[in-house]
Structure 1
Amino acid sequence: MIIYNVTSNVDDSIIDAWMAWMMDSHIPAIMQTGKFYKIKIVKVLGDHHHPGTTTYSVQYTAENREKLEEYYNNHAPGFRAESYAKFGEKVLQFRTELEVVQEFKMV
């Protein structure tokens, strides 16, 4: 299992518009690609962000590396361009890949 993590520093002046776009357009469109089976949006807590911004982590879970590579090759450039065209420098992002080694759950 691979988690493609996109951390976004969102200018506070556009949070409502960004979140609405994520929920109503962006996330449904990415789910339609069939490359991820779970997507989670989490808010980063604490004073680790820049003043006037709020930081979110969007975690896209893929079954395997092949699915993630297919996403990179066939979909990512268009989604990144759309995001930049809509929000420009008001959303600054960095991306990381995480490999799940072990997951523990209470039963």
Structure 2
Amino acid sequence: MIIYNVTINIDDDVHDEWLSWMRNKHIPDMLATGKFSHAKMSKVLVEEEMGGTSYSVQYTCPDKTTLEKYYQDDAPQLREEGMKLFSNKFVAFRTELEVISQQIP
């Protein structure tokens, strides 16, 4: 299992609009690609020196091949929409994580 993690710092002046867009449009669009089984959005509780609010969004997919297919088929269009709406109002970095084990009590 692969977790595709996107960490975003969003400017305070567009925060509420961005958060609504993420919940109601972007994350559903990501899941609609059929490449991710679920998504989890978390607020980062550490204050950033640059200001704004940071979030981590973790999308789970079955394997690296599926993630590569997302990069090819879907990522350009989905990223472009966010750039159009919130240009120069956020910074983002992406991390790929491989799940080694998961323990549930």
Question: What TM-score do you get using the length of structure 1 for normalisation?
Answer: 0.94
**Residues 47-92 of structure 1, C-alpha deviation per residue, up to 9 Å, x if partnerless?**
3x13430000000100111111110000001111111110011111
| Cα distance between partner residues in 2 of 1:52 and 1:70 | 34
SS of equivalent to 2:87: helix
The aligned length equals: 105
Alignment-mate amino acid for residue 20 of structure 1: S
* Structure-1 residue corresponding to 2:91: 92
Asked if 1:19 is matched to 2:29, the reply is no
One-letter code aligned to 1:3: I
Rounded to whole Å, the distance in 2 between the matches of 1:52 and 1:94 is 16
Provide the aligned C-alpha RMSD in A: 0.9
Q: Residue 73 of structure 2 aligns with which residue?
A: 74
Partners of 2:49 and 2:12 in 1: CA distance: 10
2-side partners of 1:13 and 1:51: how far apart? 14
The letter of the residue matching 1:105 is I
* Residue type at the aligned position of 2:10: V
Match of 1:8 in 2: 8
TM superposition score normalised by structure 2: 0.95
Runs of 5+ in structure 2 lacking a partner?
none
4+ residue segments displaced more than 3 Å: none
Sequence identity percentage: 48
